[in-house]
């Protein structure tokens, strides 16, 4: 791993479990269905050009997002609810279980520093604000 906050390479029993997965071959997990890296009609050069020189209107909110901080630790566990943290991050309570989905608790909305900042008003929670969770769901890397 070239960037230590992303973790470390698996080893020992964890590596063995990964290698025994039916979707693991040739040194990596394989998608069951064809999953192109880029949309049809795009190539890496066009993506980089658009990223650097074309900024579509409405890409960012014109003002900070209205925010009301909730005391997550005081919420009754029997209440089903969803709290949006910003981007794709959520806290859910459902059927007496607590879920954390795609958490981003940093000043960057990307694992690469200074590349993607969260929208103003969507980054007010910290790890310390969370109650103990039952499940952590990660749908994609940040």
Number of independent structural domains in the chain: 1
Tell me the pTM.
Answer: 0.62
Indicate whether 35 belongs to any domain: yes
In angstroms, the CA 55 to CA 73 distance is 39
Indicate whether 60 belongs to any domain: yes
Indicate whether 77 belongs to any domain: yes
pLDDT tens figures, 92-137: 999 999 999 988 776 666 666 677 776 666 678 888 999 999 999 8
Indicate whether 142 belongs to any domain: no
More confident residue, 11 or 58: 11
What's the pLDDT at 1?
47
pLDDT tens figures, 31-88: 888 888 888 888 989 888 988 888 888 877 788 778 788 999 999 999 999 998 877 7
What's the pLDDT at 138?
85
Which residues, including other chains, have CB under 8 Å from residue 61's CB and lie 6 or more apart?
Answer: 119, 120, 121
Q: What is the mean pLDDT of the chain?
A: 84
Domain around 21: 4-137
In angstroms, the CA 100 to CA 16 distance is 27
């Amino acid at each position: 791993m070239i960037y230590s906050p992303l973790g470390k390479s698996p080893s020992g029993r964890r590596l063995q479990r990964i290698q025994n997965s039916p979707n693991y071959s040739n040194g990596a997990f394989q998608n069951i269905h064809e999953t192109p890296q880029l949309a049809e009609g795009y190539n890496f050069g066009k993506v980089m050009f658009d990223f650097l020189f074309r900024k579509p209107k409405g890409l960012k909110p014109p003002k900070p997002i209205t925010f009301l901080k909730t005391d997550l630790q005081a919420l009754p566990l029997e209440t089903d609810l969803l709290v949006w943290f910003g981007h794709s991050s959520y806290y859910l309570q459902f059927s007496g279980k607590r879920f954390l989905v795609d958490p981003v608790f940093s000043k960057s909305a990307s694992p690469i520093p200074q590349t993607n900042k969260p929208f103003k008003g969507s980054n007010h929670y910290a790890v310390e604000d969370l109650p103990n969770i039952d499940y952590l769901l990660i749908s994609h890397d940040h």
